[in-house]
């Protein structure tokens, strides 16, 4: 019985670790798009390093796909009794808000990529609206992350 409980806890820990790794990747994409390094802002060709919007879009898409897999794992763990409902609800609430945020970030990255390739006419106003929507999703994710952090503290004592 103790071994089964250990395995259940380890499965939840692994899921939390995987979600944290995805958050790290999410922050990297966010920073690349919204907080580019100084080298990308200096208009001197030798020094300047352009932002690869296509790469950031692809990274954001990968995060979205991996997060979807994490959420599926949580559903399966809950369904088969390897996770209690309170734990599942906390992970799912955070996961859903994270998913909404990363999907909007993916959309912003894609629109910037298309704009760079001259395949759309994204106006500054449209861009600002998309970024504002992303920021709203991010605020919801941050609020739900507080609950997830309390849960993680219980598992990683």
Q: What is the DSSP letter of 112?
A: H
To the question of pTM greater than 0.85 for the whole model, the response is yes
CATH number at residue 108: 1.20.120
pLDDT (tens digit, 0 to 9) for every residue of the chain, 157 residues total? 455 555 678 889 999 999 999 999 999 999 999 886 655 555 555 555 678 899 999 999 999 999 999 999 999 999 988 889 999 999 999 999 999 999 999 999 999 999 988 888 889 999 999 999 999 999 999 999 999 999 999 988 7
Ordered DSSP codes for 4-44: HHHHHHHHHHHHHHHHHHHHHHHHHHHHHHHS--GGGT---
Q: What is the domain range of residue 66?
A: 2-155
What would the two tokens of residue 148 be?
């997830």
Number of domains composing the chain: 1
Q: Where are the beta strands (DSSP E) in 3-148?
A: none
């Amino acid at each position: 019985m103790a071994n089964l409980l250990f395995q259940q806890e380890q499965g939840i820990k692994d899921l939390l670790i995987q979600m944290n790794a995805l958050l790290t990747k999410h922050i990297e994409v966010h920073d690349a798009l919204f907080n580019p390094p100084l080298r990308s802002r200096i208009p001197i060709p030798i020094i300047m390093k352009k932002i690869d919007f296509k790469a950031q879009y692809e990274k954001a898409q990968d995060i979205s796909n991996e997060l979807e897999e994490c959420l599926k794992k949580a559903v399966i763990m809950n369904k088969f009794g390897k996770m209690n409902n309170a734990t599942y609800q906390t992970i799912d609430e955070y996961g859903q808000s994270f998913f909404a945020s990363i999907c909007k970030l993916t959309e912003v990255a894609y629109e910037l990529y298309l704009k760079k390739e001259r395949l759309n006419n994204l106006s500054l106003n449209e861009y600002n609206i998309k970024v504002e929507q992303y920021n709203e999703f991010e605020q919801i994710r941050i609020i739900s992350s507080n609950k997830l952090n309390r849960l993680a503290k219980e598992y990683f004592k």
